[in-house]
Structure formats: structure tokens, C-alpha cells
Amino acid sequence: MEYHHISSEHLSMERVREIIERRLPLALSDDARQRIVRCREYLDRKMEHSDRPIYGITTGFGSLCNISIDHDSLAQLQRNLVMSHACGTGERVPSEVVRLILLLKIQSLAYGHSGVQLVTVERLVEFYNHDILPVVYQQGSLGASGDLAPLAHMSLPLLGLGEVESRGEVRPAADVLREMDWEPIELKSKEGLALLNGTQVMSAFGVWSVIRARQLSEWADCIGALSLDAFDGRIEPFCDEVHLIRPHKGQLTTARNFRRLLEGSELITREKTHVQDPYSFRCIPQVHGASKDTIDYVESVLTTEINSATDNPTVFPDEDMVVSAGNFHGQPIALAMDFLAIALAELGNISERRIYKLISGTRGLPSFLVAKPGLNSGFMIPQYTAASIVSQTKGLCMPASVDSIPSSQGQEDHVSMGSNAATKLYRVVCNTERVLAIELFNAAQAIEFRRPARTSPLLEGLVADYRRHVPFIDNDTVMYPYIAASIRFLQDETAR
């Protein structure tokens, strides 16, 4: 069986996607094991020979950092931390994101700067490999001392507390541990902090969103090209000459991709009676391209984050240092995720405008894309749905990262709200996917009214594949199953 070995090697976004999609089991590399054990042993020695208080290890947490804890109570201190911080609420974190949380937490702990026991990390690996997923809630994190509340929910099952999803059923963690013949973990000093401090929840949402955003960007080009041809659009705005004199990478890439997608189309090369297309077609390279550049930037930020140790205090065995600092602060990725939400919202925004043009009854297309409008409403209301989704998305794009509410009696007086940025971004991704699916529903309908002329071989192949799931609509019918099928098509298929 092929494993992904957790090590200090660089973890790329592409590798994360491969691990998740192929459901590769995890294993700790020998060097990761050595780093974890070495750090834990150093911390134990440090505590034996130091009379100075060490934050969160021999003291309370947050504004209680000045209260020293006696040695016999250190394990209880960490257990109490996990229990008291499990204050999440709202919707559950989706299972695909929980898997990423586990993966990223294991990766962060494996760098050997966290002071955890090897058995604790091994148990997280077992959770991942057996698809035993802690029940985590979306609301509760300020994104500054890491994702405290949601990571507490991730950690409860280690102690035999809380709930897990196993085999599609939510069950008490204690029951599942007994079935697996696993003893609950007895946390040592520092371990509760290591588990709860960190940016793995917001990072997991961010990684999921970047991976999906790249796929949606490819679909936006593919669907936009089909809409362009169905609308009898012009290819000239996509020529290299235009974009080489304003050479943003994404803009040039988009223009070239459209020429590739439309190569061999009878429709795109025929003589046009109109001089210009509306911006939603003519400016696709500029708009889609800007979103591509944003995705690249956000991927670079999140790639740095998932290859980092983000808990606190940070332990440096070689330097004989235990430093209380702020790597758990989510600001770097909070800003980036707010930016990505805006970029994806624009892919949906311009898509809805193309939908509107396709049903507008212009350029030889029938009103609302049906042969007998009036008797039939046709594709009138899918555009309403797209407009509603786009409007909601715009509201979700108010940046979470501009807000900060002090906590812990003012000790934590600036927070990132990165977890809110992450959960809003997740919703924007889903909304953008829905709008693009509705555009495909419309574009595939519209292209049929151009027959016998044909679009490019690539796009004809796309339409043929799509027609196996969604038919041409002759007369009014119940539409929502076809919108749902269109969304599944984007999830299951690969853009051309």
C-alpha cells in the first residue's frame, strides 16, 4: 500500500490534493519520529531543571499566565484546557475539511517544535487512516491564539471525549475508542496547548478552497468559451497582441486558453455583424485573469502556512529555548482568504452577466432560450437564481480580517478573525460553483440554437458529455434537478 510519509519535506498544494483525492494513508517518517521524541525529552529535562515559569506549561493560559501550577497538576491543566475550550457551535465542519485539519495538524506537530508525545501524534494518524473524524463546529474561533475552539473539538476524542463521525455515523468518541481497543491519551505538559494553538482549521478551509478555486477557474474559462460562441461573440479581444502590451500573467494565460478552447469552431470564425461584445464577454481575459493571479498568490501564502509550526510556546531543543510568541496568529492567511473570496466572487459575478445576455433574446437567440417563449418561461428563472446567489456572495465578501474584538481580559487584544474569513470563503466557493453550473446549463441550451453550425471539437465534446446528464429543454419542465446535475457535473468532471 502506498503511504504519504509525514516528514520535514516541503508539502505542496498539489501533493495535498493528491493525498486527499487518492485517500492515501499517512505514516510518520523516521526523522519526524525522532524530532517529536527529541523535543519532548528536551522539554521534560527543561522542566526538571528550571525554576522559572514557562507559559502554558507551568502557568495558566491567556490572562491567567501569571498563575503558577504545581507539578502534580500539569497533566490536569492540559486536560482542562481541551475540555474548557471546546465551545464551538453552528454548522459542522464538512468531513473533507476535517480530514485536512488532521493532516495539517499532524504535519505541524511533526516538525519537532511543539513538545508533544509521539503517542499523541500517532493517534491523530490513526484517526486519519481509519477515517475517524472528530466532530468540529464552524463557529468559535477568533483566529489569533490559533483556532482554539474548533481544535479543542478535534482534540476531545484523543481523551475519549466528544464525538466522532465513523462509517457515516456520529457517535461518542469513547465508544469508538473502545471498539478500536485504544486507550484515551493522557496528556503531558504543553500538549493541550500544542493541539489547540495553531492555524490548522482556517488553513484547512483555505487549502480546500484554493484547490477548488483552481478547478473552478478552469471551468470558468471552459464555460465562458462556450457562452462566447453561443452568443456569437468575437475572438479578436483574445489575441496575443492585446495582452502582450498589458502582460499580467493571468490575463495572457486566459486569452491563450480561450483561443485553444475555441480552435476549430465554425461559429467563432464566421463574419460578425456587431463590432463589439459586452464587457462580460470582451473583458473575460482581464477578469478571469485577475482571479487566476489571485489564486496563485493565495496558494503561495497557504503553502508557507501548511509547512510551518504554528503553536505556542515554540520549543527549540538545539538552542535551549522555549519561546512564547505569536505564530498562531492567523493574519497572513486571513487577508489572503478574504482576497480569494473576492476573486472567486468576480468569477460568479461576470458569469451571471453572461447568463443574462444568453437569455436576453438578442443575436438570434430566442428569449429565455426556448422556441416558444410566452407559453414557456424557459430559462427565465435560472438567471434569477444565479443573481440571488451572486448577491449573497457579495455580502460574504466583506473582509473578516478588518475586524478584531479583544479577548482573554485584554491579553489577546488583536485577533485575525481568520476562521471567519475561512468559513465565508468556503461558502463563496460553493456559491461560485453553483453560478458556473447555471451558466453551463444556459450555454449548452443556447448552442443548440446555432445548429447546424458547430463550436470547436473540444467544446462539442463537453456538450456531448454534459448531455448525458442534462437534456436539451424543449418545453417547460421542473428545472432544479438539472441545476443540481449541472453542479455535480462540475464536481465530477474535469474542465477541457
For the cut 60, the answer to whether the pLDDT of residue 63 exceeds it is no
HSE toward the beta carbon, residue 184, CA cutoff 13 A: 14
Q: What span, in angstroms and rounded, lies between the C-alpha atoms of 482 and 476?
A: 12
Same domain, 153 and 235: no
The answer to whether 322 and 313 have CB atoms below 8 angstroms apart is yes
| 244 or 53: which leads in pLDDT | 244
Q: Strands 163-166 and 169-172: what pairing?
A: antiparallel
The answer to whether 248 and 285 have CB atoms below 8 angstroms apart is no
- What pLDDT score was predicted for residue 413? 87
pTM: 0.95
Same domain, 67 and 95: yes
DSSP 13-72: HHHHHHHHHHTPPEEE-HHHHHHHHHHHHHHHHHHHS--S--TTTTB-SGGGTTSB--GG
Same domain, 246 and 131: no
Same domain, 254 and 162: no
Strand blocks (E) in 341-455: none
The per-residue pLDDT for range 297-317, each reduced to its tens digit, is: 999 999 999 999 999 899 999
- What pLDDT score was predicted for residue 372? 83
Burial class (CB in 10 A: 0-12, 13-18, 19+), 179: exposed
- What pLDDT score was predicted for residue 48? 79
The per-residue pLDDT for range 30-42, each reduced to its tens digit, is: 999 999 999 999 9
Strand blocks (E) in 308-462: 314-316, 321-323
Same domain, 417 and 472: yes
Pick the closest to residue 134 from 112, 149, 119 (CA basis): 149
480 is catalytic: no
Same domain, 176 and 213: no
- What pLDDT score was predicted for residue 424? 98
Q: What span, in angstroms and rounded, lies between the C-alpha atoms of 165 and 102?
A: 13
Site of grid cell 480546500: 208
Domain count, the chain: 2
The per-residue pLDDT for range 366-405, each reduced to its tens digit, is: 999 998 888 899 999 999 999 999 999 999 999 999 999 9
The residue out of 142, 175, 198 marking a domain boundary is 198
Assign 407 to helix, strand or coil.
strand
Strand blocks (E) in 161-298: 163-166, 169-172
- What pLDDT score was predicted for residue 55? 65
Same domain, 234 and 370: yes
Phi, psi of 395 (to 5 degrees): -65, -35
Name the residue type at position 395.
G
Same domain, 211 and 192: no
Range(s) of the domain holding residue 39: 4-198
Q: What span, in angstroms and rounded, lies between the C-alpha atoms of 385 and 361?
A: 19
Of all residues in the chain, the percent with pLDDT exceeding 70 is 96
For the cut 70, the answer to whether the pLDDT of residue 105 exceeds it is yes
Mean pLDDT of all residues in the chain?
A: 94
- What pLDDT score was predicted for residue 187? 94
| 150 or 146: which leads in pLDDT | 150
Work out the pLDDT band at 8, boundaries 50, 70, 90: confident
- What pLDDT score was predicted for residue 67? 60
Q: Which one is catalytic: 42, 55, 466, 482?
A: 55
The per-residue pLDDT for range 121-137, each reduced to its tens digit, is: 999 999 999 999 999 99
Across 185-197, average pLDDT: 93
CATH number at residue 97: 1.10.275.10
Same domain, 345 and 441: yes
- What pLDDT score was predicted for residue 184? 97
The per-residue pLDDT for range 68-87, each reduced to its tens digit, is: 666 667 788 889 999 999 99
Phi, psi of 376 (to 5 degrees): -110, 135
Across 154-170, average pLDDT: 97
The residue out of 164, 198, 232 marking a domain boundary is 198
DSSP 471: -
CATH number at residue 435: 1.20.200.10
Strand blocks (E) in 251-375: 314-316, 321-323
Same domain, 428 and 473: yes
The residue out of 147, 179, 198 marking a domain boundary is 198
Phi, psi of 319 (to 5 degrees): -95, 0
Q: What span, in angstroms and rounded, lies between the C-alpha atoms of 237 and 465?
A: 28
Across 90-115, average pLDDT: 97
Same domain, 288 and 171: no
Across 406-423, average pLDDT: 92
Same domain, 78 and 226: no
